[in-house]
Amino acid sequence: MSRELNYLLQLAEQSYIRMEAELLITACVHDGDLVPFNDLLQELVMAGPTSLFVLRDMYQIIRTWKSQLSQEGQVIRQDLMQALLDFGIRLPNELIMRDPESWWRNQELAREVQAAATSLEQNSVALVNEICVDAGNKVSKLARRLVLVTELEHAVQDWISGLIYEHAHDYDALYIRERRLPEH
């Protein structure tokens, strides 16, 4: 087989594995089950340093997921702030500037909303509470996904580091063997 054809086949195989990994990562994040991902990761690690390119691609996919989840959190926060503002409730800046994963669980936020809602009519208070509960559910779901994505990220980082170390160690051993002077 020609060298060029062999190279193209390797690229096609890596692209296929990358596509499968992307689908698997998506399924793991949605289902909350990391076992299939860990199985693929194990297979790639067993393949050795040749899988570093695929692992790097997987890492990029995971980073993209993490960024998307962060953006979703920003949208949820913005929507909540706007909905509360429509009722005349303005949140303090120190609450607004926090990460979406942390600000919803903060009791200070709940107290601020409750205090501001006391001046509203009863049906408006019920609507504000419903809006807050809905935002809280969205943020909780987002936080669970973020935890999963962070676990995936750490696992891939660890294995990439391990494979790079192994490859460098093997290369050093080979280099030393080849450079050894013949004994007389």
CA 24 and chain centroid, separation? 13
With a CB cutoff of 8 Å and minimum separation 6, the contacts of 69 are 142, 145, 146, 149
Residues 30-45 pLDDT 10s: 999 999 999 988 888 8
CA 89 and chain centroid, separation? 33
Q: Is the pTM of this model over 0.85?
A: no
Q: Any idea where the domains of the chain sit in the sequence?
A: 3-179
Q: Work out the widest C-alpha separation in the chain, in whole angstroms.
A: 99
pLDDT at 85 over 80: yes
Give pLDDT, residue 137: 86
How far apart (Å, rounded) are the C-alpha atoms in residues 100 and 96? 9
Which of 15, 90, 112 has the alpha carbon at shortest distance from 58? Answer: 15
What token pair was written down for 105? 């669980």
Average pLDDT over residues 58-78: 91
Residue for token pair 């996904």: 145
- In eight-state DSSP terms, residue 51 is G
122 in Cβ contact with 8 (< 8 Å) = no
- In eight-state DSSP terms, residue 63 is H
Residues 89-101 pLDDT 10s: 887 666 666 665 5
What separation in angstroms does the CA of 74 have from each of 20, 49, 51, 71, 104? 29, 38, 35, 5, 12
How far apart (Å, rounded) are the C-alpha atoms in residues 83 and 120? 14
- In eight-state DSSP terms, residue 49 is G
How far apart (Å, rounded) are the C-alpha atoms in residues 156 and 50? 15
pLDDT at 156 over 90: yes
pLDDT at 132 over 80: yes
Average pLDDT over residues 66-82: 90
Give pLDDT, residue 179: 60
131 in Cβ contact with 91 (< 8 Å) = no
